[in-house]
Structure 1
Amino acid sequence: MSCAKADSPASSNHKEPAMQHWLQIATRNWRARPGRAALATLAVALGVGVVAWVTCCYESVQRSVTHVVLEWIGRSHVIIEATEGVWAFFGEEVESIAAQVPGVKATTVRTREYVYAAPPDRATGRAPSDDQFIRIEVTGVAPEKELTFRTYKLAAGRFLDPAARGEILVEKLIADEFKLGLGDAIFLRDNDPPGPPTPFKIVGLVDRRRASLNQAVMTWAALKDVQALCTLPGKIKGVDIMLHDDSLANIRATADVIRSRLAERDKKLKAAAGANASVESLEVKTTEAQHQRLGAARGLLQFIMMLLGCVVLLTALFIILASMGMGVTEQITELGLLRCVGVTRMQAAMLVLCQTLPIGLIGTLVGLPLGLALQWITVQVASDYLGQMAISGWGLALAVAGGLGATVLGGAVPAVGAFLVSPVDATRPQATHTTPRLLVVLAVFGAVLIAAQELIKTRIPTDAGNAAGAFDALALASLLALYAGFALIAPICVALVGRLFVHVAALALRLRPQLLGDEIDKAPIRSAAVCCGLMVGLSLIVGLVVWARSVKAGWEFPKEFPDALLYSYDSLPLDEVRALATMPGITKFTVADDFAFTFTKPSRLSLFRAMQQMDPSQRCLAIEPEEGFRIVKLTFLEGSEADALEKLKAGGHALVTREFAQARRKHLGDRVTIWVDEIKATFTIAGVIASPGLDIAISFFNASEYFQFYAVGAMILTQADAQAKFGRRYGKLMLFNFDFAANDSSRVAGGTPAVVRQSDVKPGARPNFSLGPGPIPGDGPEERIVNQMLERLGYPSKAFVTARELKQQIDRNIDRVTLLLSAIPFVGLVVAALGLANLMAANVSSRSRQIAVLRSLGTTRSQVLRIVMGEAMVLGLLGSAMGLALGMLLGRTSNHMTYLLSGFQPPFQIPWALVAASAALSTTLCLLAALVPARLASRSNVVAVLSSL
């Protein structure tokens, strides 16, 4: 009856169709193990998706960074400005001189002035009263040329029309404050001398990236309009020049030609006006340093993104290798039988490849849209870093090639294993073991690759000029050698060190070590593949956090510039100011005097004498040398800090800024004579200095041009010389750091006057760092400390600026970028966890009989679950240990790459808490990945399995 039923037509309808080709065995293996095929496909899809995600994010970041930097420095290669800085101007004819130089592609002119602005009166629509005007900056540009050099991020409206007059772009901040929009009028007037208000029509709102509220509000108008407003016809403050050939050598050569032509112009002007006539001093500068920094930033970003993409693809490769290797192990009996019936070795290898290739193709097709979706989400979450969504063509091509390449390589090794299967293997499928000799050979090759990586690292050139391609190639080769070396060493590490972790896991799970070492003993290479998947993901996280901590530790800005500057416009007794150094909440305190000087003897006529003293550009800063050098880090362009310190202590010496040296043509060892009132003194230059921290700070406060104006006449003396030569013993400028640990609330709040807590900025008003007399508004810890200082000084008229905001923002930005980048290798850990789940599921399937025998001998479900979880723990601990070691080497390599790209050498720092948390996360993911296979093993049907024996 049963036989008749089996042969009935109804029964035959459920039979599978006949196999048309022997390669269909591969597809039947997918249907036999759909979960494993799905996990392998998902691993490829995640790998491809992450590469597409990373490269497209890189494209977005590159465009965003380029936009911001070019907005800052423009696209000009050579710049002509007045040596005296922002207050000096020169004739427009200088542009035509520059435009005639061979190789010049484009030129434009600009100016920048302080003016006063106000919204129209709401009732009449006319200019408001004088007290409604606030001080702003207006930049005059040539609308027809400006967009060639700079980009403007418009929140609304359009750019200036070259044919129109009376149009203006305003920063969105001031438009919101004045409650103005597109098409509204805004009144501008010059106050030097006072002029009538001029209406301008708002045609665009600029969304300007601001680092501090202290930055001045900006507006932009046509150059002719600004010249007419400020009564400066034909006068400009800068010429921007763009070249056809932007190589460094050509930029320098063109700048020299322009300098020579300007020198010829000066000779002609002096000849026409007389030998004693004064001609404005012009400085020709190049932006090669800024563009080099932009290139270095791009190179470092591209290096990190390439590293991220390669690591995730390597993870997918190891997972495919482990999954397909397990598949070949399970199919040894089948492959041996196929060999017995005439299947050739090549056909057996092709059979394994045909199981792998469609997985890679499907994973690649799924991964591309997945990567674009991840990029869209990232852009929405971090739009301030990534800007707008951009698609990278080369990145998508790399993702496709990487996904298919990883699949082919991942299937090639198992295919070789299938090629070596003999018909005899069908009778003894469990007899195959990895020979120790193979592990030793792989380890030797791995050690050679790691040594080669160190050699390549020393040969990598800096990313400059024609060496950029060599840098990329050698950097990538160095990283691939490092990862390949660790991958080849991994099997012998699993075999030798694995037993140690077996005992650790057995102790933690209360099991015998013999129950957990089966996978490590029989298949160290397959186990190493899973460990490598974990290793590469964890290594990148560890490498990133180590690199970020090293960069933060080596970032010298907090050591180069104080937390706060408090300036008194009144001359205060020096001893009274020095006493503030002992106040709670203050550390590293120093005080300096600030006073004007002239290079010529002051006139005896009161009118001319007053005019000389009104010039603010010539200032002496009298410092405490040792304390000042400790709190403000100076770079000596001429001379050295040690020699300068000794000379300053000896007296009769001074430091000058690089701007002073350029403008006055004075250098180390030269003598400078100055007058303070009617007292004459001569000083020898002990050093020419610059301050990297100050350069950053003045950019942060948008004061670079104004700093240049003051720096061209700045000299630094000692307080001893100021007293001995000019009879001055005052303090005006206080530099200090905050020490909140020493400043508890009871010591601060109790001494703060009630008026301070009640004082605040008027609603709608913009905070300003120059606050006049009285306490500063606010009741934060910094404000309380500063107000205590002001109270002891009698509340002089002052200006207060804090750079602590900038320091904290730099740290936050580094932390946030590290967090964003760490999300990518975390996906790699997820891919590795999927591979571990795949391997555990395969192990459970292949050892179902062994598990059934253990259950029949009295092993409980809980013990079976712990055995599977213990094997996963062993692999997780091994992968984490190797990942930590590789991550440390990767951190050192990243520091070295940073030095090659930017010249900045970060010290090697390890954030142990983050590193430990990353290792714990890796091991936890392994345990979670093994949970489902472990539950399946513990719930297996013992009777059904034993009956099949």
Structure 2
Amino acid sequence: MNRESIYSKAGSLWLFKMAWRDGRASISRLLLFMASIILGIAAVVSIQLFSTNLKQNIQGQSKSLLGADYIIDSRQQPNEKVKSIIDSLVPDAYEVNFPSMAAFPKNGAAKLVRVRGMEGSFPFYGDLETTPENAANTYQQKGGVLVDATVLLQYDLKAGDSIKLGVITFPIIGAINSMPGSSGIGTSVAPTVLIPYRFVEKTELLQVGSRKEYQYFFVDPDKDLDELEKVLDPILDDENADLDTHTSSSRQIGRSYDNLGRFLNLAAFIALLLGCIGIASSVHIYIKEKLTDVAVLKCIGASRKQSFLIYLIQIAIMGLIGGLVGAIIGIGLQYALPELLQEFLPFDIEITTAPQPIIMGLLLGMFMSVLFALLPLLGTWYVSPLEVLRISEKPAVRSRKTKIVAFGAIIIFVLLFGIWIFGDLKFAAAFVMGVFVTFAILAGISVLFIKTIKRYFPASWGFTARTSLLNLFRPNNQTMVLILAIGLGTFLISTLYFTKDILLAKTQLDNSADQANLILVDIQPEQREAAINTLEENNSEVLNNLSIVTMRMQKIKGIATNDIRKDTTSTIREWVLNHEFRTTFRDSLIASETVVEGEWIKEIESGEDVMISISEGLAKDAQIGLGDKVVFNIQGVLMETIVGSIRKVDWTRLQLNFMVVFPKGVLEQAPQFHVLTTYVPDTNKSASLQQQLVSKFPNVTVFDLRQIYTVIEDILQKISWVINFMAFFSILTGLIVLIGSVRTSKYQRIKESVLLRTLGAKSKQILRITALEYLYLGILGSLAGILLSLISSQLLATLLFEEPFVPSGIPFMVFLPAIVLVVLAIGLSNIRSVLQSPPLAVLRKVG
């Protein structure tokens, strides 16, 4: 019986014993290599868990835009069907709100306001911020009212003064500085006066035919709001009611909220890729050093399959243990970070541990180790027993088919993880393809670098300089592995930093001197010049000077709106038929608009068809498209128009947007009023200006957007903090993984440095040789990674985040020298034991 048959009968138990024996003999190296696995998995698990919690907490913060989890509202007393739905869900608070004139006995002034009669402790999320602070908690019990701070500024009122609503005079308990559920321009046209619900009927303001709205607020954080919206919205729409959820309300903060989710997913995916780099580089170097041991096993009769399985088992167990330890560390970081950062966190974070990331850590540890070990492990299959006696400069020939299978398995694994993280096959595939293209480019750079050094080797250089270059292309060199590890690590870290800058540019409200925060509405034509002069006298620049023309739809595609109302089969939304449109005319688009269909018409001449531009929402609700005819009734004058373009309008931007825009040359002579906007830098100046405007122009409505800015900016600041923190935390973990990757080259360097020292090289010479070698690798790898990240960041900005990309100099000025210094420091620390111990002792230790 030959040796191979004896070993084959030994079975799997012998393989595990051999894996254990070999691992025990190399325990110090295994711990170092396992450190890369642990760091990679810890980074993935901690970032994924913390990202999930941060995202959930930010989503919770976004509830302050609505003040509740969801709201059901109706512009009439809810009918039996709507009331039964409301009762079944059990509202936690409710209100009725309506416009009314308010009188101020102190100065005899009057103002159109929106009265909100509230029952219950609304808001349930966010804060009703008042001056004085306790007014929000006492107005119900005291039977007083809270008045919009802007109104108090305009009429020089304060807490303790009175306001008359209908037949009742109420004491003013305090000023409303900001209130959830009122973060839109529309809610500010008539400023809020908040009163206890029990007084609504006593004011005698609600009569038959009064314009009013009933709102019911619900708190149910565990409710599936998407499913609720899907089921209830159509039913409520048919009954002239509506459902609003906090998820739809959060869209008021624009793309910043959506981009936060994408960024956190990107950080988690990059953490995985950084972990892959650490694992792949450490396993590659470990297996490469074990080729001689494989040759010895084959010399004593082990088969290809047995030698392959011994190290596959060893790597799988390393991965499983590394994954377990990494997952535990990741969970620990998850709980430690909020404690460490509680003084800096802009909000309290509720930590929960989901099982998925923990299971993911265990599986990733094993699968990533095995998958990324396949390629170097394939080298054991083709190792000749003669490798015991000689070192070949050329690697053993491998099967192309097995290489393709190994690469394919890695690509599929990373792609599946990307799909799980991003939830989008197209984007995951594009990102994975980009990473592998980067990998190929870096591999090509390293091959070209080696060939260039070989061809143009500077033979005239000194001993240390020549030796450092020779080390880059000697047999068993690690040039490609380290350039790939350094380059890919730097590429991912820089991409994350550039992406952070892209998003942070959109997490700040443009509350600057060129962004209006004070709007004057209902200015009559004869008042416009005087109003402009008043603004200029107060050093307030006029930012927008708009003309508004009111009109209603008379006919849609040749059918009168009265006939459409009677048609029970019509799919046109009822609000379109009853709405009084406020339109404007201009020759250019504004920042919140993009033409998605048709062509923007700047101006038309007399006698030409009137080509208008409408918003996407109006086109959908009115069932009209390009070329369709719409007849408008402009205060008794009928005008036929044709839809010339359809615009996508970002209604979340705090500026005046319009559903219908006319070109110049049509409405200039129509009855109209004007709107002026300006920017006021502080409260005192705003109060003075508003008081002047109200005194000179009693009919003009002035409203201040600073309350709206307060609600939304608070959330955007939190999003900004999360993006900054997750970026730098991911960059830090990336650097740690990168350090682990470079650190794994330690043992190969030790052997060569010992040989140099044995031949008589001085410690200073060995230090210089090592320093130069790692300097070359650090500069080449990090520079290539940063340059490639510029391309990837541009693609991410354009295709994913839809934002402009302005490159920062930080990666070049900070990351490049920092990574080079880190690589250099690790390289020098790798040979510290060589310089401190006798050569024979070192060789025995690493042999």
TM class by smaller structure = 0.5 to 0.7
Indicate the residue corresponding to 1:97 in structure 2.
81
Deviation at 1:229?
6.5
Q: Please tell me the residue identity of whatever aligns with 1:522.
A: P
Task: Give, in whole Å, the separation in 1 of the partners of 2:755 and 2:270.
Answer: 36
- Are positions 1:431 and 2:392 aligned together? yes
Deviation at 1:371?
1.6
CA distance 1:27–1:799, shift in 2 (3 Å) = closer
Indicate the residue corresponding to 1:237 in structure 2.
213
- Are positions 1:398 and 2:360 aligned together? yes
User: Any conservation in 2 of the 1:872–1:926 contact (CA below 8 Å)?
Assistant: yes
Deviation at 1:193?
1.1
Q: Please tell me the residue identity of whatever aligns with 1:697.
A: L
Deviation at 1:416?
3.9
Q: Please tell me the residue identity of whatever aligns with 1:28.
A: R
Deviation readout 1:44-92 (Å, 9 max, x if unpaired): 222222222122123213322443445546899996544xxxxxxx223
Task: Give, in whole Å, the separation in 2 of the partners of 1:98 and 1:555.
Answer: 39
CA distance 1:888–1:591, shift in 2 (3 Å) = same
Deviation at 1:507?
13
Deviation at 1:588?
9.3
Task: Give, in whole Å, the separation in 2 of the partners of 1:447 and 1:290.
Answer: 43
Q: Which of residues 771, 783, 789 is equivalent to 2:690?
A: 771
CA distance 1:891–1:597, shift in 2 (3 Å) = closer
CA distance 1:356–1:257, shift in 2 (3 Å) = closer
Deviation at 1:402?
0.9
Task: Give, in whole Å, the separation in 2 of the partners of 1:135 and 1:574.
Answer: 21
Deviation at 1:353?
4.3
Task: Give, in whole Å, the separation in 2 of the partners of 1:371 and 1:432.
Answer: 41
CA distance 1:470–1:619, shift in 2 (3 Å) = closer
Report the more deviating stretch, 227-236 or 509-518: 227-236
Indicate the residue corresponding to 1:516 in structure 2.
469
Indicate the residue corresponding to 1:124 in structure 2.
none
Task: Give, in whole Å, the separation in 1 of the partners of 2:620 and 2:400.
Answer: 65
Indicate the residue corresponding to 1:309 in structure 2.
268
Q: Please tell me the residue identity of whatever aligns with 1:97.
A: K
Q: Please tell me the residue identity of whatever aligns with 1:483.
A: V
Indicate the residue corresponding to 2:571 in structure 1.
none
Deviation readout 1:788-819 (Å, 9 max, x if unpaired): xx9xx9xx997665799999989977764543
- Are positions 1:43 and 2:19 aligned together? no
CA distance 1:211–1:26, shift in 2 (3 Å) = farther
- Are positions 1:388 and 2:350 aligned together? yes
Q: Which of residues 365, 370, 373 is equivalent to 2:329?
A: 370
Deviation readout 1:132-166 (Å, 9 max, x if unpaired): x99998755776xx9xxx98237xxxxxxxxxxxx
CA distance 1:835–1:633, shift in 2 (3 Å) = closer
Deviation at 1:206?
11
Deviation at 1:833?
1.5
Task: Give, in whole Å, the separation in 2 of the partners of 1:335 and 1:638.
Answer: 67
User: Any conservation in 1 of the 2:487–2:781 contact (CA below 8 Å)?
Assistant: yes
Indicate the residue corresponding to 1:820 in structure 2.
725
- Are positions 1:831 and 2:723 aligned together? no
Q: Which of residues 876, 896, 906 is equivalent to 2:778?
A: 876
How does the TM-score come out when normalised to structure 1? 0.61
CA distance 1:366–1:655, shift in 2 (3 Å) = closer
User: Any conservation in 1 of the 2:37–2:322 contact (CA below 8 Å)?
Assistant: yes
- Are positions 1:923 and 2:820 aligned together? yes
- Are positions 1:58 and 2:12 aligned together? no
Deviation readout 1:325-381 (Å, 9 max, x if unpaired): 434444444444444444554554454345544543443333233223333354454
CA distance 1:618–1:501, shift in 2 (3 Å) = farther
Task: Give, in whole Å, the separation in 2 of the partners of 1:173 and 1:74.
Answer: 15
Deviation readout 1:794-852 (Å, 9 max, x if unpaired): xx99766579999998997776454333221431232111220221x213222134321
Deviation readout 1:471-527 (Å, 9 max, x if unpaired): 545544544454345446654542223456899999999953552342444346x54
Q: Which of residues 144, 166, 174 is equivalent to 1:193?
A: 166
SS of the equivalent of 2:133 reads: helix
CA distance 1:402–1:512, shift in 2 (3 Å) = same
CA distance 1:318–1:174, shift in 2 (3 Å) = same
CA distance 1:391–1:774, shift in 2 (3 Å) = same
Task: Give, in whole Å, the separation in 2 of the partners of 1:303 and 1:207.
Answer: 29
Task: Give, in whole Å, the separation in 2 of the partners of 1:212 and 1:359.
Answer: 56
Indicate the residue corresponding to 1:862 in structure 2.
764
Deviation at 1:389?
1.4
Task: Give, in whole Å, the separation in 2 of the partners of 1:509 and 1:809.
Answer: 62
CA distance 1:946–1:49, shift in 2 (3 Å) = closer
Deviation at 1:43?
1.9
Deviation readout 1:849-871 (Å, 9 max, x if unpaired): 432156x2xx5533321221222
Q: Please tell me the residue identity of whatever aligns with 1:398.
A: M
SS of the equivalent of 2:350 reads: coil
Q: Please tell me the residue identity of whatever aligns with 1:433.
A: K
CA distance 1:943–1:61, shift in 2 (3 Å) = closer
Task: Give, in whole Å, the separation in 2 of the partners of 1:529 and 1:361.
Answer: 24
CA distance 1:362–1:510, shift in 2 (3 Å) = same
Indicate the residue corresponding to 1:111 in structure 2.
96
How does the TM-score come out when normalised to structure 2? 0.67
Task: Give, in whole Å, the separation in 1 of the partners of 2:275 and 2:54.
Answer: 25
Indicate the residue corresponding to 1:86 in structure 2.
none
- Are positions 1:152 and 2:124 aligned together? yes
Deviation at 1:421?
3.8
Task: Trace 1:298-697 onto structure 2 (pairs within 5 A).
Answer: 304-353=263-312, 355-379=314-338, 381=341, 383-384=345-346, 387-428=349-390, 430-431=391-392, 433-434=394-395, 471-473=423-425, 475-484=427-436, 486-487=438-439, 490-498=442-450, 512-523=465-476, 526-548=478-500, 563-564=515-516, 567=519, 589-592=543-546, 625-626=586-587, 629=588, 633-634=592-593, 641-642=600-601, 645-646=603-604, 670-674=630-634, 692-693=649-650, 695-697=652-654
Task: Give, in whole Å, the separation in 1 of the partners of 2:809 and 2:616.
Answer: 42
- Are positions 1:176 and 2:172 aligned together? no
Deviation at 1:394?
0.9
SS of the equivalent of 1:433 reads: coil
Deviation readout 1:447-482 (Å, 9 max, x if unpaired): 9999999xx99xx9xx9xxxx999545544544454
Q: Please tell me the residue identity of whatever aligns with 2:124.
A: Y
Task: Give, in whole Å, the separation in 2 of the partners of 1:631 and 1:310.
Answer: 37
Q: Please tell me the residue identity of whatever aligns with 1:153.
A: Y
CA distance 1:425–1:872, shift in 2 (3 Å) = same
Task: Give, in whole Å, the separation in 1 of the partners of 2:410 and 2:198.
Answer: 64
- Are positions 1:29 and 2:25 aligned together? yes
SS of the equivalent of 2:545 reads: strand
Q: Please tell me the residue identity of whatever aligns with 2:748.
A: N
Task: Give, in whole Å, the separation in 2 of the partners of 1:635 and 1:404.
Answer: 49
User: Any conservation in 1 of the 2:113–2:192 contact (CA below 8 Å)?
Assistant: yes
Task: Give, in whole Å, the separation in 2 of the partners of 1:648 and 1:76.
Answer: 53
Aligned residues: 763
User: Any conservation in 1 of the 2:145–2:171 contact (CA below 8 Å)?
Assistant: yes
Task: Give, in whole Å, the separation in 1 of the partners of 2:502 and 2:796.
Answer: 10
Task: Give, in whole Å, the separation in 1 of the partners of 2:139 and 2:308.
Answer: 71
User: Any conservation in 2 of the 1:360–1:404 contact (CA below 8 Å)?
Assistant: yes
User: Any conservation in 1 of the 2:165–2:203 contact (CA below 8 Å)?
Assistant: no
Deviation at 1:398?
0.9
